[in-house]
Structure 1
Amino acid sequence: FAGYSSYAPSKWALRGLADCLRNEVRKNRVRNGGLTERVRSSSASSRSLPGPPQLLGTGVICSVAYPPDTETPGYAHEEESKPAICRAVNAALGSELFPSHKVARAIVRGVQRRDYHIAGPDLGQNLLVDFTAGIAPGALPGVFSCLMQPVVWLVLAALRWRADAAAKRCNS
């Protein structure tokens, strides 16, 4: 949304990196549980050359947390210089400020459960994260997610309209 052009692309880049790492480092059929080497054969000779190492089967868990607006000193400082367009869009979307202990508890719980997309205390944001999960595991239980998809699509369309209208009013 308007006003978040420095934050949103970097968050999506982290999400893309996490999508790749999740698939690369998760436990798979390699059973040695550590660093493995790929071996290439040379057509010029019968000897094999070691290839670049791959992190396969390490059991490393990769997660992405999506904390909502959180009551912290950093957020209070951000509020002092937040552009008017950000305030307008946040107001149009009904942005809620969450206590830091609730956000921290949700993130720790997600890490303990080994979740990929770590759900926070904001159900609306969790539905949005789940809606954009792609082929990665979602943030919410599968059946619930499937049943909610049509509703979420309609809600997102309405929110998009509200955010666009708020930005337009602020820019005119």
Structure 2
Amino acid sequence: LGPPALLITCAGIAQPGHFQDIPIDVFETTMAVNYFGTLYSIRAVCKSMVERQQGTILVVSSIAGLIGVYGYSPYCPSKFAVRGLAETLRAELKPSGIQVSIAYPPDTDTPQLAAEAKTKPLATQRISAMAKPWSADAVAQAILKGVQRRDFMITPGFETTLIGKMHSLLAPLSNRYFDSIIAKALAETQHPNQ
């Protein structure tokens, strides 16, 4: 068989909720799986790729690796960490002929997303409802096209691409917009009869 020419890391668990209500072990487990699972996988193949001066590493993050999402305080930082790792490795491994790509898929219709729905705060539900989840096949096809084009940053769909390209510029506007959605949801939660 020989050493791998392509590594795809797609580790991801999420347990949404309110920051102060989520047990600290959820934060630790989320970082262990999402970030360290990615890191350990890359470490396992990196040396052989560098020795051969070729290979492709695809790191799957999330749109939540670009923007902080209400209710995802364990998940977002883990995906931001994956982003930092991919950006660093792109620079370090490019001189060795290794292509590093990072994908930021939108919500994807999987059993994991269905499980998350059980603990999402109302504000998070409202934010999630703004975009229809993608099928896993559609996400996979978009990501593989990006890898074939040797893109570093792969953002399936218009919304994800817009956030990916403009998140720093749009942050003040999107923060205000999401703040209004969150405020309405919190008002409904605190005063359900009004």
TMscore range, shorter length? 0.5 to 0.7
TM-score by length of 2: 0.55
Show the counterpart of 2:115. 77
Runs of 4+ that moved beyond 6 A = none
Measured on the aligned residues, the alpha-carbon RMSD in Å equals 2.0
- Partners of 2:122 and 2:186 within 8 A in 1: no
Q: C-alpha distance in 2, partners of 1:26/1:104?
A: 24
1:160 aligns with 2:175: yes
Q: Could you tell me how far 1:5 is from its partner in structure 2?
A: 1.2
| Residue of structure 2 equivalent to 1:123 | 158
Q: Which amino acid aligns with 1:110?
A: G
Partner residue of 1:26 out of 77, 86, 94? 94
Aligned twin of 2:100: 62
Q: CA deviation at 1:160?
A: 2.7
Structure 2 CA distance for partners of 1:162 and 1:132, relative to 1, 3 Å: closer
Aligned residues: 119
CA distance in structure 2 between the aligned counterparts of 1:169 and 1:132, rounded to whole angstroms? 23
Give per-residue Cα distances to partners, 1:102-146, cap 9 Å, x unaligned. Answer: 1010111111111110121x201111112248xxxxxxxxxxxxx
Matches within 5 A, 1:9-20: 9-20=77-88
How far is the alpha carbon of 1:88 from its aligned partner? 2.3
Structure 2 counterpart of 1:102: 138
Bigger Cα Rg? 1
d(CA) in 1 for partners of 2:136, 2:97: 30
Give the number of the structure whose residues are more often helix, by fraction: 2
Out of 43, 67, 72, the residue aligned to residue 4 of structure 1 is: 72
1:69/1:108 CA distance change after superposition, 3 Å = same
Which structure 2 residue ranges, 5 or more long, are not aligned? Answer: 1-68, 188-194
TM-score by length of 1: 0.62
Give the gaps of 5 or more residues in structure 1: 28-57, 134-151
